[in-house]
A and B are shown apart, each in its own frame.
Chain A
Amino acid sequence: MEGAMEGAMLADAKIRTESGTESGPRGSGCSLRHFACEQNLLSRPDGSASFLQGDTSVLAGVYGPAEVKVSKEIFNKATLEVILRPKIGLPGVAEKSRERLIRNTCEAVVLGTLHPRTSITVVLQVVSNAGSLLACCLNASCMALVDAGVPMRALFCGVTCALNSDGTLVLDPTAKQEKEARAVLTFALDSVERKLLMSTTKGLYSDAELQQCLAAAQAASQHVFRFYRESLQRRYSKS
């Protein structure tokens, strides 16, 4: 999938090079907002986590592996379901699209074949949205899956990059930065090979910019994974 997408990007770039957006990002000035995570804060789900990135906050609950409806049963693997609930109103198309992206990411890492004919349900609740919501949802679902003890091939994290009109790159943008940006790209990366699991983009960018964003996301993912590691170390520490 990755390869196919890349191919398409390159073809696209051919047309767009004329418009001339090759200014390139500045190296410095990129940072992630402060992170906070609390696991196991809900009593009913098997695993839960609340993840905060700056003012963006998402709460995730995981049920599973559990009983599955016969209609949804898959005979050789677990049925993975993701439910994303907005804060205001009923879930719409945007939520459905995010649900799908998150589900596809989770499916890539969760070892569903170890629990055939069961269901794994991830329920996400947006608590506050101040930019990079999808990345925060991904991080919250990963921490909740870890808390639930669902077997996974690797951990995953979400990183959002925004490209401004002058070509500067912003990592983990706030809502305002997202709004002003020319393009917003969200990547999901795995912890073992740092490879791309999912990518979704909005706006116009060149192939060089895509690769730059991806490289920046990979650099940022190291910090996120370190955060994961340290918070889990703290959690399973004896003191």
Chain B
Amino acid sequence: MKETPLSNCERRFLLRAIEEKKRLDGRQTYDYRNIKISFGTDYGCCIVELGKTRVLGQVSCELVSPKLNRATEGILFFNLELSQMAAPAFEPGRQSDLLVKLNRLLERCLRNSKCIDTESLCVVAGEKVWQIRVDLHLLNHDGNIIDAASIAAIVALCHFRRPDVSVQGDEITLYTPEERDPVPLSIHHLPICVSFAFFQQGTYLLVDPNEREERVMDGLLVIAMNKHREICTIQSSGGIMLLKDQVLRCSKIAGVKVLEITELIQKALENDQKVRKEGGKFGFAESIASQRITAFKMEKAPIDTSDVEEKAEEIIAEAEPPSEVVSNPVLWTPGTAQIGEGLENSWGDLEDSAKEEEDEDGTDGAVILGSTKMDAGVEVSNIGSQDAPIVLSDSEEEEMIILEPDKNPKKIRTQTISAKQEKAPSKKPVKKRKKKKAAN
């Protein structure tokens, strides 16, 4: 689905409003939208809502062999996905420019800033290290994806616990959560991205642009910073020229915003930990605002299943007995037999996958068994394992055609072809293919 284009009057309206220091959602120039962080039941799972923008983050880990040039360092892997759920214009399975840009920025913000101690992820130098994978899914796109994604990534990393390991000699023991408490990652600092949108060639500036504002902006400046006011990465895109004091002003604003967000993150993490420790209820079910009329909950409901046995018996009693598939197997040549009706057998010709559906009909009834065993109930799949000589060659296939000439004229034709082919078995493969085309 295509993106709905922004009309000219909408664009002019938005720009005029920005000139008058007004924003469509009533925020001030430097205001951030509300941030809500909720955690799932698993470790390392969180949903971050930045206004209506929503990102799901999940961290997972795996023991892998390290990279050759970095034998003592764990591996960090980031993957942001723009799901079609977030906006109709995002196509599944396509690496758009925006996606590549966001992923690169995220990597620079979180990996290159060395916020996670990768050396602590090493189990055996040069042999086994932890690979930490951060999956981020954009669930709803309402602008400023990068800020929401960076918060989700760092929150998920903070929340994550990896299984404990111990090394004794050459033996690596992995402990389940029941045996030993999983351990958190060692995180040095929390880098957080803050976006600034510029309008009218840098004359006007807005913090945390929403989707509409992003569509009319001229340029974007992203500053990743931690609470110690250390800049982790900075990126200006859109091709606007910024003055030195503009960048400095932005970094000052970013410092304030990052401090606020870090506090919020820590508070959210503490809350979750407290609830988990006290054995209270946690997970997404608890974060649903139950006062909303769009939300509804139902407690555990017992289901009366006392009568299922009787019901099942009734149905089975009423059901027709399984039909005898065939009474007399037909013997075509010694060693082969045919039970039931059906189309030609296609066992053994794998090259023609286009005919698959047609063949399925055939295999239902046309069960070929060894001449010694003629049990009608045996499944088709059992045939292969039997010892009796079952010829699954092309020649058998031709002989498989069922003779009901008066009902199906098409079959007569195929039969006559097969009869011809029997005379010249050496040329069969070629002819067979021709025949199939004719049958199609």
The stretch of A31-39, A149-157, A184-192 that contacts the partner chain: A31-39
In angstroms, Cα B299 to Cα A127, docked, is: 20
- A116 to chain B minimum Cβ distance, whole angstroms, is 17
What 0/1 readout, one digit per residue, does chain A (98-124) give for beta carbons within 8 Å of chain B?
Answer: 000000000000000000000101010
Q: B83 near A123 (CB under 8 angstroms)?
A: yes
Q: B88 near A63 (CB under 8 angstroms)?
A: yes
What residues of B have a CB within 8 angstroms of the CB of A24 in the complex? 309
Q: B292 near A27 (CB under 8 angstroms)?
A: no
Most chain-A CB neighbours within 10 Å: which of B1, B54, B139, B306? B139
Q: A66 near B88 (CB under 8 angstroms)?
A: yes
- A58 to chain B minimum Cβ distance, whole angstroms, is 10
- A86 to chain B minimum Cβ distance, whole angstroms, is 9
What residues of A have a CB within 8 angstroms of the CB of B56 in the complex? 59, 87, 125, 127
Interface assignment of B142: CB less than 8 Å from any CB of chain A: yes
Give the residue name and chain of the B residue nearest to A130 (CB).
B41
Q: A234 near B296 (CB under 8 angstroms)?
A: yes
What residues of A have a CB within 8 angstroms of the CB of B115 in the complex? none
In angstroms, Cα B304 to Cα A92, docked, is: 37
Residues of chain A from 49 to 68 with CB closer than 8 A to chain B in the complex: 50, 52, 55, 57, 59, 61, 63, 66-67
Interface assignment of B58: CB less than 8 Å from any CB of chain A: yes
Interface assignment of B135: CB less than 8 Å from any CB of chain A: yes
In angstroms, Cα B300 to Cα A211, docked, is: 24
- A37 to chain B minimum Cβ distance, whole angstroms, is 6
Range for the number of chain B residues in contact with chain A: 35 or more
Residues of chain B from 279 to 308 with CB closer than 8 A to chain A in the complex: 283-285, 288-289, 292-308
Out of B84, B299, B306, B316, name the residue touching A28 (CB < 8 Å). Answer: B306
Known contacts A15-B379, A234-B293, A7 near B323 by CB under 8 Å? yes
Give the residue name and chain of the A residue nearest to B52 (CB).
A43
Interface residue SS majority, chain A = mixed
- A110 to chain B minimum Cβ distance, whole angstroms, is 18
Q: A211 near B311 (CB under 8 angstroms)?
A: yes
Known contacts A59-B85, A83-B84, A211 near B92 by CB under 8 Å? no
Most chain-B CB neighbours within 10 Å: which of A39, A67, A85, A210? A85
Interface assignment of B86: CB less than 8 Å from any CB of chain A: yes
What residues of A have a CB within 8 angstroms of the CB of B309 in the complex? 24-25, 27, 212
In angstroms, Cα B293 to Cα A40, docked, is: 10
Out of A42, A87, A214, A216, name the residue touching B54 (CB < 8 Å). Answer: A42
Known contacts A59-B139, A87-B135, A169 near B305 by CB under 8 Å? yes
Give the residue name and chain of the A residue nearest to B314 (CB).
A211
Q: A219 near B54 (CB under 8 angstroms)?
A: no
Q: A237 near B302 (CB under 8 angstroms)?
A: no
Q: B379 near A89 (CB under 8 angstroms)?
A: no
What residues of A have a CB within 8 angstroms of the CB of B313 in the complex? 208, 211
What residues of A have a CB within 8 angstroms of the CB of B315 in the complex? 211, 215
Between-chain CB contacts (< 8 Å), 14 pairs: A11-B325, A27-B304, A27-B307, A40-B294, A44-B142, A50-B288, A130-B41, A212-B308, A212-B309, A212-B311, A212-B312, A213-B308, A220-B303, A231-B295
State the B residues within 8 Å of A (CB). 1-2, 40-42, 45, 47, 52, 54, 56, 58, 60, 81, 83-88, 92, 133, 135, 137, 139-142, 283-285, 288-289, 292-309, 311-313, 315-316, 319, 321-323, 325, 377-379
